Amino acid sequence: MKRIQAYKFELMPDGQQQNHMRRFAGSCRFVFNRALALQKERYERREKRLGYAGLCKLLTEWRNSQETAWLADAPVHPLQQSLKNLERAYANFFAQRAACPRFKKKGQSERFRYPDTRQIKLEQGNSRLFLPKLGWLRYRNSREVLGTVKNVTVSQLCGKWFVSIQTEREVEPPLPNGNAVGIDMGIARFATFSTGSYLAPLNSFTQHETRLRKAQRAMSRKTKFSNNWKKAKARIQRIHARIGNVRRDYLHKATTAISHNHALVIVEDLQVRNMSASAGGSLEAPGRHVRAKSGLNKHILDQGWFEFRRQLQYKLAWNAGRLLAVPPRNTSRTCPHCGHVSRHNRQTQTEFRYVECGFEGHADVVGAINVLRAGHAQLACGEDISHPTPAKVKRAASAKQEPTEATLARFDHSPERRKNPRSSGRGGCQNPKSFAHMPDRILHPREIPCDKIARHILHNRITLPLDR
């Protein structure tokens, strides 16, 4: 089994090497923008789009031309890689996987790649790396690079240079470890498991919001494009980078622990773009509770649900696990015992009380159990039990929406609310080091939808305890 993995380190170049890397990044950006402009001109003239081979011929002409002779100072392979990136961007656009390619701006996504491994030398013992036309570069060696080097990408972020080394190595096929678990994503609780445990939210943006606001106010008072304005802008960039680094560190620790302890993870297929849409409305039809919805959107985007799902997917694949996404509709409104769906079952943010049988429990735990059952039903029976349509129940307007009363109470910024702030109520795994010690329990037999699930679990070697 081949595993492709990337290792990212911080570079420590000298002044001359920094100038060379900035020029190389600018050359790659120029080649990308010029090739994109050429493709758009050919499209306006109703001509056929040039392929990668045709663009490489033009690249040779640009390097030999007197107007763009400075392109010859940059290594040729990173320039060709920029043309490959443009070709891939067009392929994704025609496949409706991404938007139309756009021109790159200076200072945004400054990076270039060396795809030829024969020109790359890595000495881990001396913590240095050799790159064409840059020489030996020192880097902060934090861990061992395993496997054969495939390519190297040099990037810049907040004035610092980083190197990403992609490797490929053979590993033994792993065996799945652990049982199945359902995860309910939320705001008060970042991730609630069907076992009853949960992860508390980090809220990295909220922690640095005051500092960021002060830096933005200081920048607004500076003369635009002055030296002090550039310093203030760099300070804001460092704060944003800090927020992103803290969030990614938290998500990596959480997803690593989950992937090691569970063979099957079932999550909600949340549409974050729709959930975080603005409620401002228009001049003809202005929105309601705009300020409360704005606070809710800020907290939704601060959680990093998409990045959590992305990390879980590839880490579970490394450990022979599987990630399954199910529709989130009515997962927090369905009784786990009889399957009855009613919006009256969940009156508050945390309380779940079945109106007929009197079952009580935490709403997030009930949602995680229903997510687990929906995933089992899809795997074993090919059913979708997340969309029940009883005769007495009307369909909800949104896929996953928390109660309006609780949402408005939680994210209301009115003066009355400031006088009586809510209690923290944070519990669970506050320390990321305690992720590996999450409790587990045996599933109730009534949480298993049908007998086909047991055969599916035994066939796929999933150690799910069945009490039949």
In this prediction, residue 339 has a pLDDT band, given cuts at 50, 70 and 90, of confident
CA–CA separation, 379 and 384 (whole Å)? 10
468 in any annotated domain: no
Q: Is 122 in the same domain as 232? A: no
- pLDDT of 348 over the 80 cut: no
**pLDDT at position 116, please?**
94
Q: Is 211 in the same domain as 308? A: yes
The residue from 87, 110, 302, 364 that is catalytic is: 364
Residue 73 known to be catalytic: no
- Mark which of 116, 135, 170 sits at the end of a domain: 170
Helices (H) and strands (E) in the chain, counts: 13, 14
Residue-wise pLDDT for 127-176, tens only, equals 999 999 999 999 999 999 999 999 999 999 998 999 999 999 999 988 88
CB within 8 Å of 415: residues ≥ 6 apart: none
3-class SS of residue 99: coil
Q: What would the two tokens of residue 431 be? A: 């320390």
Residue 268 known to be catalytic: yes
Q: Is 126 in the same domain as 203? A: no
Q: How many CB atoms lie under 10 A from the CB of residue 238? A: 15
82 in any annotated domain: yes
467 in any annotated domain: no
Q: Is 95 in the same domain as 229? A: no
Residue-wise pLDDT for 23-77, tens only, equals 999 999 999 999 999 999 999 999 999 999 999 999 999 999 999 999 999 999 9
The residue from 87, 110, 268, 402 that is catalytic is: 268
Q: Is 134 in the same domain as 197? A: no
3-class SS of residue 156: strand
Q: Is 98 in the same domain as 140? A: yes
**Alpha carbon distances (Å) from 425 to 107, 208, 240, 273:** 42, 21, 27, 28
Q: What would the two tokens of residue 310 be? A: 């992305």
Q: Is 238 in the same domain as 112? A: no
252 in any annotated domain: yes
158 in any annotated domain: yes
91 in any annotated domain: yes
CA–CA separation, 342 and 388 (whole Å)? 11
Higher pLDDT residue, 171 or 415?
Answer: 171
Q: Is 248 in the same domain as 160? A: no
The continuous run of DSSP H or E covering 150 comes out as strand 148-157
Q: Is 190 in the same domain as 160? A: no
Which residue segment(s) compose the domain that 197 sits in? Answer: 179-459
**pLDDT at position 308, please?**
97
Least confident span in 86-90, 214-218, 352-356, 425-429: 425-429
Q: Is 288 in the same domain as 437? A: yes
In this prediction, residue 358 has a pLDDT band, given cuts at 50, 70 and 90, of low
Residue-wise pLDDT for 85-124, tens only, equals 999 999 999 999 999 999 999 988 899 999 999 999 999 9
Q: Is 97 in the same domain as 244? A: no
**pLDDT at position 289, please?**
87
Backbone angles phi, psi at 430, to 5 degrees: -75, -40
**pLDDT at position 257, please?**
95
CA–CA separation, 375 and 367 (whole Å)? 12
Higher pLDDT residue, 267 or 342?
Answer: 267
- Mark which of 170, 196, 214 sits at the end of a domain: 170
Domain count, the chain: 2
In this prediction, residue 427 has a pLDDT band, given cuts at 50, 70 and 90, of very low
Q: Is 252 in the same domain as 191? A: yes
Residue 364 known to be catalytic: yes
pTM as predicted: 0.78
Ramachandran region, residue 107 (left: φ > 0; alpha: ψ -120 to 50; beta: rest): left
Percent of the chain having pLDDT more than 70? Answer: 78
The residue from 110, 184, 302, 402 that is catalytic is: 184
- Mark which of 170, 188, 218 sits at the end of a domain: 170
464 in any annotated domain: no
344 in any annotated domain: yes
CB within 8 Å of 102: residues ≥ 6 apart: 36
Average pLDDT value over all residues in the chain: 83
